[in-house]
């Protein structure tokens, strides 16, 4: 890495030979950064060195206006000489009192007499803070209503070391809604977390080693898992690397072997007997990008094959290709290109279809389309970067979004003509949803939880669902169902897992042995309209479902990458891409992009058609042809055929209803709390105006409907683990289709009768074979198998929208947030991810105020120190400049000495500055610190100038130095020209050789030599005088990061007074204090590049 004359890196080259170049101004600030792909970032500064303007790679300018302390008060974004957005901050003294976002919303901040932040007001939202006597945050109060008691109060209690030992969440009346306590060990590690649950205290315990790394975890049921660290593991290349081994309560282990760079390169799972059950190898390119993964395909303990997938990256580390089934005849490649600004330009699918991206001047996606014209969207934004309109250019329609001043979505007009509106409480929780027909849904909350959901029409309540009781861990214990449907009661174990569910028409019990030691469900008992039924489940050592016994019995064979190989001893046929070609009664075909395009079952053939985003747009089956249409968020907006026309509307990303061709709501569900997305969240389902109360099992599947008017169960649903369903009517008879017309069943998702598939929101799932019908939109984010459903273990996790599996979360979350999907990445169109109005608090906390005050104090102290030390340096320079010509040495040596003195003095000043900054504990780049430092120095200089002495000394030094240096430079230039002419006259010497540079380099090396010797003398912890007069300075030993054969290393600098030579090397020591390796570093100031080698006798003798 080359450096300029001021020791700043001017370029850096990674292991792939890709170079990033940086240029600096006189203050050492970067003014231009040239990236390996040719893109350029530029920076402009004010006279005081603060950043005034940054110019992005696409030419967009961000301009900054600052106050007298260098703080940004106005930030503007410009493009093509037009102001795009502006935000500002207002300070009073050291305190930020208000900030205004680009849409004009102002946030106000208040402080107490000690300068601590005590409130934030933004629109109608209010947050208040309080502190204990040690200025630690003790209370956070958030208002959610207009009454004095409409607030949540979060309280923190600390021990004497500042650790939080207790957290409570209370309402305005003082009732404790949540309570968690903590314990710590002597090193400050949190070792115990305790929550009060309905079943008693739920306590988890973690033990740590001396390196503060966890080694044992004990869950609330007393089951232990372990982590072991081996720092002396030798890999295949003989390198000593870290290996970690995690062992669960059943003895299964996962070994992670790291490389010399600390990256995990091998992941091996073993069963309790030590047999390998899965193995993965990871390979990285020289720049550290993951380039290939090799998975062993293991079937019943034997490696049958390998599945490889890989990536290519450009010079900026951006992915340019994703390769599936690498090295097989079916190898599939998805390519990505980027424009000159580094933005994604095209995605070229394996079929050759191109997905095209265009951006506006602020880097936001403006046009999103495909070259096959299967979709084309144009985007518009507000000044806070929230999407306000998406135009479907193919269908000449648009989705429009409207926001309040806080950036909360208040109305969404879908491009199918339907609209949904929202209102919020002061805490940002949805309070009202307005449906397309004008009817509403009201939500009521307490300080922590959703308490009731009411359906209204023309302002008249139709029915209400209330959440009556929660425990202090957030688990719902009791709720009152809608209408006459009765009550629902729940019980939990110490791990907050549902043990019992009691509702009219459905009950579920999981006995004490229902979960094994690692939390897998093994036994449950249900009672529904069909009667009582026991279920038992078995698993492979990889936690994949192997068997299930209940109303149906199934036995599965699964390989190590989650492919189902057989069901009930009937084999499946798969290809190299993990695509299912044949199961027990059907055959399948796929397109080049991995989408299922044909299913043949007996004499019936069904075909499927997709757009460029792999969205199913048409189904042709013996029942007819069905066409689907989507919006830019991949939400299916309509389904049409010769006999039906359905349009769907959404609450955020969750589908909640359907209207017919006449615009009448025919299907509606109302969401409350659940596991995530819609899973287990529905409190009501309306079919053609008839209201039902749905019941759910512990996984969130809809297992029954209760008539809200009569209170009688009218339908029940049973599922196999993978969603094969059995429907039961009110008389207990098995039926083929829902008699009441309920479409939401397995995973609380809509089931399409024309395919039998379950629509998860981003792709479809086929319960008959337990697989997705298309590849994972996120690629290999959830593992090597792009078609596997929840790793063939659906009892332990859920998939919210068809992207990636998630473990069931403790407690409940509110599924009534229209921006819920904003936190989930969209692999093609990530434009809905911004949610303005949620500014971080860190910038206005009390800690910042304290830091500002201390920075000002430190600046004043350092300014005084600068003034005092500057006198010494001025007179030092005066003495040196006056006596330089009296030295008996050549002109070139005088120049070298002059340069070495200047650089040495600069290094002394820099070292002094670093010492003061380290002692004061202040950031050298802090604008307030620098402002007060320079201001103090200037004030003292002005006062001193008035007295005359300081000005006289400084003027004298300036005159002498100018004269001396000018004469030396003139002589040096003359001599360099003569020397150049001599070289030019010699054959073989290039004309453009700059011989003057040799003197500069010599001066720099001389300075480095002297600085190294000076540093060694200052830092020496041991000095040895050798017999021949040489002196060795030994600096402090630094322990090895990974303890193995080497205990540590230290620098040694040797000085020979006979010839003035110095050399520096690094010695590595074993655990017996013997030198086992030597690494040369510097000889007479010149850096050397040598490998480690065993020491010689001359280097180790006294």
* Three-class SS of 699-727: CCCEEEEEECCCCCEEEEEEECCCCCEEE
Query: Does residue 651 belong to any structural domain of this protein?
Result: yes
Which residues span the domain enclosing 934?
Answer: 845-993
Which of 823, 854, 869 is the last residue in one of the domains? 823
Band the pLDDT of 861: cuts 50, 70, 90.
confident
Which of 993, 1027, 1051 is the last residue in one of the domains? 993
Q: Tell me the C-alpha distance between 251 and 828, whole Å.
A: 41
Band the pLDDT of 562: cuts 50, 70, 90.
very high
Q: According to the model, what pLDDT value does residue 263 have?
A: 96
Strands 30-34 and 151-158, bridge-based pairing: unpaired
Residue 126 bridge partners (DSSP): 121
pTM recorded for the entire structure: 0.76
Characterize 94-127 residue by residue with b for buried, 16 or more Cβ atoms within 10 angstroms of its Cβ, and e for exposed.
bbbeebebbbebebebebeeebbbbebbbeebbb
Residue 636 bridge partners (DSSP): 630
Q: Flag whether pLDDT at 826 surpasses 90.
A: no
Q: 1060-1077, pLDDT tens digit by residue?
A: 889 998 898 888 888 888
Q: Flag whether pLDDT at 832 surpasses 60.
A: no
Q: Tell me the C-alpha distance between 157 and 139, whole Å.
A: 9
Q: Are residues 1035 and 979 in the same domain?
A: no
Q: Are residues 970 and 1057 in the same domain?
A: no
Q: Which segment of 765-769, 855-859, 994-998 scores lowest on mean pLDDT? A: 994-998
Band the pLDDT of 811: cuts 50, 70, 90.
very low
Query: Does residue 7 belong to any structural domain of this protein?
Result: no
Band the pLDDT of 1002: cuts 50, 70, 90.
low
Structure tokens belonging to residue 832: 């809905």
Q: Flag whether pLDDT at 460 surpasses 70.
A: yes
Q: 331-365, pLDDT tens digit by residue?
A: 999 999 999 899 999 999 999 999 999 999 999 99
Q: Flag whether pLDDT at 109 surpasses 60.
A: yes
Q: Are residues 934 and 1015 in the same domain?
A: no
pLDDT higher at 1047 or 774? 774
Q: According to the model, what pLDDT value does residue 958 have?
A: 42
Q: Flag whether pLDDT at 575 surpasses 50.
A: yes
Q: Are residues 978 and 1068 in the same domain?
A: no
pLDDT higher at 374 or 1055? 374
Q: 498-556, pLDDT tens digit by residue?
A: 999 999 999 999 999 999 999 999 999 999 999 999 999 999 999 999 999 999 999 99
pLDDT > 70: what percent of the chain? 82
Q: Are residues 397 and 483 in the same domain?
A: yes
Q: Are residues 599 and 693 in the same domain?
A: yes
- The full DSSP string for 1051-1095 is EEEEE-TTT--EEEEEEEE-TTS-EEEEEEEEETTEE-----BPP
Q: According to the model, what pLDDT value does residue 206 have?
A: 98
- The chain-wide mean pLDDT, for the chain, equals 86
Q: Flag whether pLDDT at 574 surpasses 50.
A: yes
Which of 993, 1021, 1056 is the last residue in one of the domains? 993
Q: Are residues 1025 and 980 in the same domain?
A: no
Band the pLDDT of 805: cuts 50, 70, 90.
confident
- Strand arrangement, sheet containing 764-766: 750-751, 758-759, 764-766, 771-772
Q: Tell me the C-alpha distance between 450 and 430, whole Å.
A: 10
Mean of the pLDDT values across residues 655-676? 96
Most confident region among 715-719, 898-902, 1097-1101 by mean pLDDT? 715-719
Band the pLDDT of 954: cuts 50, 70, 90.
very low
* 983 touches 989 (CB < 8 A): yes
CA 1087 to chain centre: 40
Band the pLDDT of 982: cuts 50, 70, 90.
very low
Q: According to the model, what pLDDT value does residue 732 have?
A: 96
In angstroms, what CA-CA distances link 945 with 159, 872, 929, 956, 959? 54, 16, 24, 14, 17
Q: According to the model, what pLDDT value does residue 858 have?
A: 73
Q: According to the model, what pLDDT value does residue 594 have?
A: 98
CA 831 to chain centre: 17
Query: Does residue 527 belong to any structural domain of this protein?
Result: yes
Residue 544 region by backbone torsions, left for phi larger than 0, else alpha for psi between -120 and 50, else beta: beta
Instruction: Give, rounded to a whole angstrom, the gap between the first and last alpha carbons of the chain.
Output: 35
Query: Does residue 22 belong to any structural domain of this protein?
Result: no
Q: Flag whether pLDDT at 212 surpasses 60.
A: yes
Q: Tell me the C-alpha distance between 824 and 634, whole Å.
A: 13
CA 1019 to chain centre: 41
Q: Nearest Cα to 718, choosing from 731, 707, 706, 729? A: 729
Mean of the pLDDT values across residues 643-671? 97
Strands 725-729 and 224-234, bridge-based pairing: unpaired
Band the pLDDT of 1088: cuts 50, 70, 90.
confident
Query: Does residue 10 belong to any structural domain of this protein?
Result: no
Q: According to the model, what pLDDT value does residue 180 have?
A: 97
Q: According to the model, what pLDDT value does residue 840 have?
A: 29
Mean of the pLDDT values across residues 710-730? 98
pLDDT higher at 916 or 791? 791
Mean of the pLDDT values across residues 1004-1014? 80
Q: Tell me the C-alpha distance between 456 and 436, whole Å.
A: 13
Q: Are residues 950 and 1012 in the same domain?
A: no
Q: According to the model, what pLDDT value does residue 944 have?
A: 56
Band the pLDDT of 193: cuts 50, 70, 90.
very high
Q: What single-letter DSSP state applies at residue 515?
A: B
Query: Does residue 709 belong to any structural domain of this protein?
Result: yes
Q: Are residues 817 and 849 in the same domain?
A: no
Q: Tell me the C-alpha distance between 205 and 194, whole Å.
A: 9
Q: According to the model, what pLDDT value does residue 889 have?
A: 57
Q: How crowded is the C-beta side of 674, counted as CA atoms within 13 Å?
A: 28
pLDDT > 90: what percent of the chain? 70
Q: What single-letter DSSP state applies at residue 676?
A: B
* 993 touches 977 (CB < 8 A): no
Query: Does residue 19 belong to any structural domain of this protein?
Result: no
Q: Flag whether pLDDT at 669 surpasses 60.
A: yes
Query: Does residue 282 belong to any structural domain of this protein?
Result: no
Q: According to the model, what pLDDT value does residue 934 have?
A: 67
Q: Are residues 793 and 852 in the same domain?
A: no
Q: What is the tally of structural domains in the chain?
A: 3
Q: Are residues 444 and 469 in the same domain?
A: yes
Q: Are residues 668 and 745 in the same domain?
A: yes
């Amino acid at each position: 890495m080359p450096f300029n004359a001021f020791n700043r890196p001017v370029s850096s080259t990674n292991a792939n030979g890709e170079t990033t170049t940086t240029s600096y101004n006189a203050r050492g600030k970067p003014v231009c950064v040239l990236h390996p792909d040719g893109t350029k970032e530029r920076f402009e500064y004010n006279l005081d060195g603060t950043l005034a303007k940054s110019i992005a790679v696409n030419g967009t300018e961000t301009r900054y206006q600052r106050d007298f302390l260098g703080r940004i008060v106005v930030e503007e974004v410009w493009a093509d000489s037009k102001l795009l957005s502006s935000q500002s901050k207002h300070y009073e003294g050291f305190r930020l009192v208000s900030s205004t976002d680009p849409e004009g919303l102002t946030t106000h901040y208040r402080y107490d007499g000690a300068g601590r932040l005590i409130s934030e007001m933004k629109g109608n939202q209010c947050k208040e803070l309080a502190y204990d006597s040690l200025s630690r945050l003790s209370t956070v109060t958030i208002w959610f209503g207009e009454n004095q008691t409409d607030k949540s109060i979060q309280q923190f209690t600390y021990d004497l070391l500042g650790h939080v030992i207790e957290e409570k969440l209370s309402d305005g009346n003082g009732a404790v809604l949540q309570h968690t306590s903590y314990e710590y060990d002597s090193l400050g590690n949190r070792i115990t977390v305790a929550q009060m649950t309905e079943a008693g205290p739920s306590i988890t315990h973690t033990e740590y080693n001396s390196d503060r790394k966890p080694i044992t975890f004990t869950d609330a049921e007393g089951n232990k898992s372990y982590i072991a660290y081996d720092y002396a593991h030798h890999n295949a290349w003989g390198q000593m690397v870290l290996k970690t081994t995690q062992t669960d309560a059943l003895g299964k282990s996962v070994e992670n072997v790291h490389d010399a760079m600390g990256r995990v390169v091998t992941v091996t799972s073993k069963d309790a007997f030590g047999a390998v059950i899965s193995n993965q190898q990871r390979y990285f390119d020289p720049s550290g990008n993951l380039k290939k993964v090799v998975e062993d395909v293991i079937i019943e303990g034997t490696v049958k094959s390998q599945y490889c997938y890989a990536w290519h990256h450009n010079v900026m580390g951006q992915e340019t290709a994703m390769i599936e089934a690498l090295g097989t005849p079916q190898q599939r490649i998805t390519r990505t290109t980027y424009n000159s600004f580094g933005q994604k330009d095209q995605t070229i699918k394996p079929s050759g279809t191109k997905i095209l991206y265009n951006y506006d001047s602020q880097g936001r996606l403006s046009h999103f389309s495909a070259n096959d014209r299967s979709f084309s969207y144009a985007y518009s934004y507000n000044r806070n970067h929230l999407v306000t309109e998406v135009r479907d250019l193919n269908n000449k329609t648009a989705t429009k979004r409207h926001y309040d001043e806080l950036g909360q979505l208040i109305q969404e007009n879908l491009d199918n003509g339907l609209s949904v509106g929202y209102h919020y409480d002061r805490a940002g929780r949805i309070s009202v949803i307005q449906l397309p027909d004008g009817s509403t849904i009201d939500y009521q909350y307490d300080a922590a939880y959703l308490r009731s959901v009411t359906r209204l029409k023309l302002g008249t309540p139709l029915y209400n669902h209330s959440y009556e009781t929660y425990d202090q861990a957030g688990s719902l214990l009791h709720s009152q169902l809608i209408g006459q449907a009765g009550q629902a009661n729940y019980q939990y174990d110490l791990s907050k897992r549902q043990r019992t569910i009691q509702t009219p028409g459905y009950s579920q019990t999981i006995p004490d042995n229902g979960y094994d030691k690692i939390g897998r469900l093994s036994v449950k008992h249900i009672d529904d309209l069909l009667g009582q039924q026991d279920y038992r489940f078995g698993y492979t050592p990889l936690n994949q479902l192997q068997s299930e016994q209940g109303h149906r019995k199934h036995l599965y064979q699964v390989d190590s990458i989650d492919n189902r190989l057989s069901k009930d001893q009937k084999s499946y046929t798969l290809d190299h891409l993990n695509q299912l070609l044949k199961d027990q009664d059907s055959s399948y075909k796929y397109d080049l992009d991995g989408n299922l395009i044909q299913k043949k079952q007996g004499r019936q053939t069904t075909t499927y058609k997709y757009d460029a985003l792999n969205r199913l747009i048409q189904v042709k089956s013996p029942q007819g042809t069905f066409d689907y249409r989507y919006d830019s968020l991949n939400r299916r907006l309509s389904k049409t055929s010769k006999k039906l026309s359905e349009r769907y509307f959404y609450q955020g990303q969750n589908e909640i209803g359907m209207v017919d061709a006449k615009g009448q709501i025919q299907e509606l569900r109302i969401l409350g709390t659940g596991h995530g997305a819609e899973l287990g969240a529905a409190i009501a389902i309306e079919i053609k105006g008839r209201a039902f109360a749905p019941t759910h099992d512990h996984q969130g599947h809809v297992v029954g409907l209760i008539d809200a008017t009569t209170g009688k169960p009218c339908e029940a649903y049973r599922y196999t683990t993978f969603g094969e369903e059995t429907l039961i009517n009110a008389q207990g008879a098995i039926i083929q289709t829902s008699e009441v017309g309920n479409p939401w069943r397995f995973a609380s998702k809509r089931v399409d009768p024309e395919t039998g598939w379950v629509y998860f929101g981003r792709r479809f799932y086929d319960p008959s074979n337990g697989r997705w019908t298309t590849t994972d939109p996120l690629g290999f984010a959830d593992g090597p198998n792009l078609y596997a459903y929840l790793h063939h273990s659906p009892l332990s996790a859920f998939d919210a929208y068809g992207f990636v599996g998630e473990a069931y979360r403790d407690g409940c979350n509110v599924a009534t947030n229209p921006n819920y999907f904003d936190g989930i990445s969209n692999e093609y169109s990530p434009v809905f991810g911004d949610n303005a109005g949620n500014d971080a608090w860190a910038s206005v906390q009390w800690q910042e105020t304290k830091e500002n005050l201390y920075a000002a104090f430190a600046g004043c102290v350092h300014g005084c120190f600068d003034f005092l030390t500057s006198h010494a340096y001025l007179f030092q320079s005066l003495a040196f400049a006056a006596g330089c010509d009296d030295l008996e040495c050549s002109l070139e040596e005088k120049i070298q000495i002059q340069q070495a003195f200047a650089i040495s003095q600069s290094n002394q000043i820099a070292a002094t500055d670093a010492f003061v900054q380290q002692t004061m504990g202040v950031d050298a780049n802090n604008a307030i610190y620098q402002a007060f430092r320079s201001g103090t120095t200037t004030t003292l200089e002005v006062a001193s100038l008035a007295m005359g002495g300081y000005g006289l000394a400084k003027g004298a030094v300036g005159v002498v130095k100018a004269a001396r240096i000018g004469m030396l430079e003139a002589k040096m230039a003359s001599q360099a020209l003569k020397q150049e002419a001599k070289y030019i006259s010699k054959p073989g010497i290039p004309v453009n050789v700059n011989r003057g540079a040799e003197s500069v380099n010599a001066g720099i090396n001389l300075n480095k030599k002297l600085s190294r010797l000076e540093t060694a003398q200052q830092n020496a912890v041991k000095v040895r005088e050798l017999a021949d007069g040489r002196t060795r300075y030994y600096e402090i030993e630094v322990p090895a990061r990974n303890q193995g054969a080497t205990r540590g290393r230290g620098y040694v600098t040797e000085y020979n007074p006979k010839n003035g030579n110095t050399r520096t090397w690094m010695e590595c020591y074993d655990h017996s204090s013997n030198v086992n390796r030597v690494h040369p570093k510097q000889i007479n100031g010149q850096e050397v590049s040598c490998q480690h080698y065993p020491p010689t006798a001359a280097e180790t003798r006294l």
